[in-house]
C-alpha cells in the first residue's frame, strides 16, 4: 500500500495555498478580473455598434448611387442649384424672420 503524506507535506501545501491567496489579495486579482470582464463587454458592444454603423454607411452609399441615376433627383438637383423653373411654373419664396438666404 501507498504511504500517507506526512505533516511536512500538509504544512507545505497549506503554506503554498496561503501564499497564493495572499498574492491574489495583494494584487486584487478578483477586481482585475471583473475589470477585464467589463472591458471585454465594452469591446463587444463597440464592435456591434461599429458593425451597425458599417451597415448604415453601406445602405446610404447604395442610396446615393441610386440617386445619381434617378432622373427625378437629377432634375431636382439641377433646379435647386441653378434656380431653374419649368414653363408655366410659379415659384414663391418665403423668408422667415431670422433666416438668411444661402448662396
pLDDT the model gives residue 2: 57
Cell numbers found for residue 92 = 414663391
Band of residue 103 on the pLDDT scale cut at 50, 70, 90? very low
All three cell numbers of 70, joined, read 434617378
Residues of 40-78 as b/e, b for ≥16 C-beta within 10 angstroms? eeeeeeeeeeeeeeeeeeeeeeeeeeeeeeeeeeeeeee
Segment 4-58, tens digit of pLDDT: 778 889 899 999 999 999 999 999 998 999 999 999 999 999 999 999 999 999 9
Amino acid at each position: 500500500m501507498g504511504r500517507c503524506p506526512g505533516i511536512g507535506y500538509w504544512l507545505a501545501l497549506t503554506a503554498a495555498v496561503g501564499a497564493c491567496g495572499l498574492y491574489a489579495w495583494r494584487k486584487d486579482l478578483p477586481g482585475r478580473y471583473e475589470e477585464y470582464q467589463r472591458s471585454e463587454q465594452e469591446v463587444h458592444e463597440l464592435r456591434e455598434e461599429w458593425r451597425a454603423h458599417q451597415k448604415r454607411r453601406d445602405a446610404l452609399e447604395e442610396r446615393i448611387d441610386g440617386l445619381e441615376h434617378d432622373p427625378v433627383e437629377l432634375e431636382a438637383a439641377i433646379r435647386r442649384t441653378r434656380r431653374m423653373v419649368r414653363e408655366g411654373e410659379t415659384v414663391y419664396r418665403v423668408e422667415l424672420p431670422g433666416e438668411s438666404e444661402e448662396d
